[in-house]
Structure 1
Amino acid sequence: MMHQITKWLALIGLAFFISSCSDPTPKTKLVLVQGKTMGTYYQVTMALNEQQQLDAAYKISAIQVEIDKQLELVNDQMSTYRPDSELSRFNKAKETLEVSPATAYVVKASLALFNQSNGAFDVTVGPLVNLWGFGPDKKPIKVPSDETIKKRQQWVGSQYLGVRDNTLYKAKPELYVDLSSIAKGYGVDVVAQYLESRGINDYLVDIGGELRAKGVKPQNEQWMLAIERPNIGQNVQRLLQIGDNAIATSGDYRNYYEFDGIRYSHTIDPKTGKPINHKLVSVTVIHESSMMADGLATVISVLGPEEGLTFAKQQKLAVFLLVKQGDEYIEQFTAEFKPYLFEEK
């Protein structure tokens, strides 16, 4: 929900390691494509069959070219760092702009989450994120005053944003839309759809910690992922097998600063105009859509442990929470999440 919001899924580096620890069968082979996009990394692990391995169109270099094209298009549509992107041009416009069906689709999804979460998810919160020093603006030399926050809040509100067909419109000229809390997940879905269009149905797509898996590894093994324990170093809290789904984790313990001994999170609550202040350390969401998992993780991060868990249960979402309690981390999860927990026998 913020400019360059930091979303992570624990031990992503382990994902390829774990997926590669078994020798592949002669019929299938794991290959890895890596690159950079959206200010972060991407890596795509896929299992190719014998026929695909012999086809020049399935060489790593050829697949990477096509993946890069897909992700560059998403950046050209939705990046706020590219001055000529569709989103940047809309932010400069006074009222309306016709955009691609893809951008309109993601904005519609954002507005649906805004309504579903009663305003906890708001892609227009950028002016507040910048005010608190988590966007392009520098870290403030003092905590913003309530008066300053109220002034910035006048520029914020997805109720002033709309979509009609492929045209975006805004009721306030100052409205600034930032899709970073949902566009990365959308990018994962785009890559997954591209792979499936090429007949690649066993894969793990990872863009900066947003993941989507399908099928199996060689030897018919499930993709194994992990949730990180929020301590120093890489520690596994839980192992997961998510099936043909996407997964996103949002947490605030990696991106914050302190003033006078008070810790300020990078996640801003649109209703207060201030960083969230609760004991929810991380939230993990499993969903068939990476875009939705991405956005829903932000929703629950803003709502906090009690309201967030209630929301997840009401919506029947697969959600896992880590809540700080003294020096311990307490696990809470919905019934829908339990089947994905991997229990060693």
Structure 2
Amino acid sequence: MMRTNSGYALGTTYAIKYEIQNEKEDYKSDIENVFHEVNQSISAYIPTSDISRINRGEEGVKIDDYFKTVYEFSREVYEKTDGYFDPSVGALVNAWGFGPEKPINNLTDKQVDSIMAFTGFDKVKVSNEGKVFKEHPSLTFDFNSLGKGYAIDLIGEMFDEKGVKNYIIEVGGEILTKGKNTKKLKKWTVAIDSPIQESEERQYIEVITLENKAMATSGNYRKYRVDPETGDHYVHILNAKTGYPMKNNVLSVSVIADNCMKADAYATAFMVMPYEKTKKLLSELKDVDAYVVSRDQYGNIQKYTTKGFQDLIE
């Protein structure tokens, strides 16, 4: 039999289905505990979290294993993407109105340039003792681009330790699966939202099957901010190389990987990277597959799919 737990966490909703052996088995409190621990470490929306204290420049903060894991994987993706994936953009995220701090309305080029002076993952390092050293005190972390994926992986690890053989974990559209849907006696099926939502009802562009895999989707079609003074729309994904919200032809990216933190991070990176550069990196990454939806110069929808992803489309 399957148990379903749902609720609100990490600024979004979650729905988790897992196989149980008897009616008494319920791991909702364990799930909520994972969310709580991750929040206390890497949520910039919690003033007492480690990341908030580090962003404020507090002395003597020693990072925990959660922060260390996310930081080290961010460094790996930062290097593989030539800096297009960069979690040091926290100050820019706030300035553009997508973070916990008050945005800067009518943000000028000069203001963006001044923030860019202390943005860059190459301007920070972590010592073996767990101390964070920033070249500039105003450098600000934002791990939202992989934090959800990491929390999902931790819930999966918790299930594995408890001997749960079949589950699907979904938090804000990011997904991790193991085994099968024993209720329907088949692999887990997952729908991908269409980046062109023309009605109130959610529309899907593909349905795929997942088994022991994670998937994350990133897109510019839902999250945006409107400047109250100018009326301009700003999409939520920022280009760390320019300091500005993305303006490219990529509408959405879905990534499949062996863990959700990896899928989450690369889905964000591929939204920012030039299209041809994304395809080149995908050809080099052996454990990452992707489905990229974009517009050509005439406004027509184009789809690029790696073979590994194509094989999972129903």
Which residue of 1 is the match for residue 114 of structure 2? 151
Which residue of 1 is the match for residue 88 of structure 2? 124
Distance in 1 (CA, whole Å) between partners of 2:258 and 2:251 is 24
Mapped contact 1:95–1:172 kept (Cα < 8 A): no
Render the CA deviation track for 1:288-312: whole Å, top value 9, x for unaligned: 1101111111110110433222222
TM-score scaled by length of structure 2: 0.91
Render the CA deviation track for 1:131-175: whole Å, top value 9, x for unaligned: 222223455542x22211110101211101112333322222211
Pairing of 1:91-130 with structure 2 (within 5 A)? 91-93=55-57, 97-130=61-94
- CA-based RMSD of the aligned residues comes to 1.9
Mapped contact 2:90–2:139 kept (Cα < 8 A): no
Which residue of 2 is the match for residue 324 of structure 1? 295
Which residue of 2 is the match for residue 274 of structure 1? 244
Which residue of 1 is the match for residue 148 of structure 2? 184
Which residue of 2 is the match for residue 245 of structure 1? 213
Which residue of 1 is the match for residue 193 of structure 2? 228
Which residue of 2 is the match for residue 338 of structure 1? 310
- Gap runs ≥5 in structure 1: 1-28
Secondary structure of the 2:210 match is: coil
Secondary structure of the 1:136 match is: coil
Which one has more relative contact order, counting CA pairs under 8 Å at least 6 apart? 1
Give the aligned residue type for 1:209: G
Distance in 1 (CA, whole Å) between partners of 2:87 and 2:80 is 14
Distance verdict in 2 for CA 1:307–1:261, change over 3 Å:
farther
Superposition deviation, residue 328 in structure 1: 3.5
Distance verdict in 2 for CA 1:97–1:81, change over 3 Å:
same
Distance in 2 (CA, whole Å) between partners of 1:334 and 1:240 is 13
Comparing 277-286 with 227-236, greater Cα deviation is found at 227-236
Render the CA deviation track for 1:73-114: whole Å, top value 9, x for unaligned: 111111111111111122223676311122111111111111
Distance in 2 (CA, whole Å) between partners of 1:257 and 1:291 is 26
Give the aligned residue type for 1:43: A
Distance verdict in 2 for CA 1:96–1:338, change over 3 Å:
farther
2:129 matches 1:161: no
Distance verdict in 2 for CA 1:99–1:141, change over 3 Å:
closer
Distance in 1 (CA, whole Å) between partners of 2:237 and 2:46 is 23
Distance in 1 (CA, whole Å) between partners of 2:247 and 2:116 is 18
Secondary structure of the 2:22 match is: helix
TM-score scaled by length of structure 1: 0.83
2:276 matches 1:306: yes
Distance in 2 (CA, whole Å) between partners of 1:100 and 1:41 is 26
Give the aligned residue type for 2:98: F
Render the CA deviation track for 1:262-311: whole Å, top value 9, x for unaligned: 64321110111111111100000000110111111111011043322222
Distance in 1 (CA, whole Å) between partners of 2:101 and 2:39 is 21
Which residue of 2 is the match for residue 4 of structure 1? none
Secondary structure of the 1:237 match is: strand
Superposition deviation, residue 71 in structure 1: 1.3
How much identity, in percent, do the aligned residues show? 28
2:31 matches 1:79: no
Secondary structure of the 1:173 match is: coil
Secondary structure of the 2:270 match is: helix
Which residue of 2 is the match for residue 297 of structure 1? 267
Mapped contact 1:95–1:173 kept (Cα < 8 A): no
Residue-pair matches, total: 305
Superposition deviation, residue 210 in structure 1: 1.0
Distance verdict in 2 for CA 1:135–1:220, change over 3 Å:
same
Mapped contact 2:253–2:292 kept (Cα < 8 A): yes
Secondary structure of the 1:177 match is: coil
Distance in 2 (CA, whole Å) between partners of 1:297 and 1:210 is 10
Mapped contact 2:125–2:132 kept (Cα < 8 A): yes
Pairing of 1:51-90 with structure 2 (within 5 A)? 52-53=21-22, 56=24, 58=25, 60=26, 63-90=27-54
Distance in 2 (CA, whole Å) between partners of 1:257 and 1:214 is 36
